[in-house]
Amino acid sequence: MSERLTITALGHEGDGIAEAATGRVFVPFTLPGETILADVEGERGQLAEIVAPSADRVAPACRHFGTCGGCAVQHMAPEAYHAWKRSLVVDAFAQRGIEAEVDPLVPLAPHTRRRAVFSVLKEGNEVTLGFNRRESHDILAIEECPLLVPGIEKRLPMLAGLALRLAERGKRARMTVTATDTGLDVAFEGGRKLGRSDFESLGHGAEANAIARLTIAGREIFASRLPELRGDKLVLYPAAGGFLQAAAPSEAALIDLVETAVGKSNPVADLFSGIGTFTLRLARRAPVLAVEGDDELLKALDRSMRFSTGIRTITMRKRDLFLNPMAPPELKPFKAVAFDPPRAGAKAQAEMLAKSVVPTIVGVSCNPATLARDARILIDGGYRLTRVTPVDQFLWSSHVEAVAVFQKA
392 marked as binding residue: no
Closest CA to 225 of 177, 180, 182: 182
CA angle 216, 316, 295 (to 5 degrees): 20
The reply to whether omega before 267 is within 30° of 0 (cis) is yes
Q: Are 368 and 230 in contact (CB under 8 A)?
A: no
340 marked as binding residue: yes
3-state secondary structure of 7: strand
Q: How far apart are CA 213 and CA 313, in angstroms?
A: 29
Q: Which class for 59: exposed (0-12), middle (13-18), buried (19 or more C-beta within 10 A)?
A: exposed
188 marked as binding residue: no
3-state secondary structure of 290: strand
Which amino acid appears at position 316 of this protein?
M
CB atoms inside a 10 Å sphere around CB 77: 14
Q: How far apart are CA 385 and CA 387, in angstroms?
A: 6
Q: Which helix (H) or strand (E) holds 363?
A: strand 360-365
349 marked as binding residue: no
Whole-angstrom CA distances from 68 to 75, 128, 147, 158, 219 are 14, 14, 13, 21, 31
Which residues participate in catalysis according to the annotation?
366
Q: What residues contact residue 310 under an 8 Å CB cut-off, 6+ apart?
A: 233, 234, 284
Point out the annotated binding site: 245, 272, 292, 340
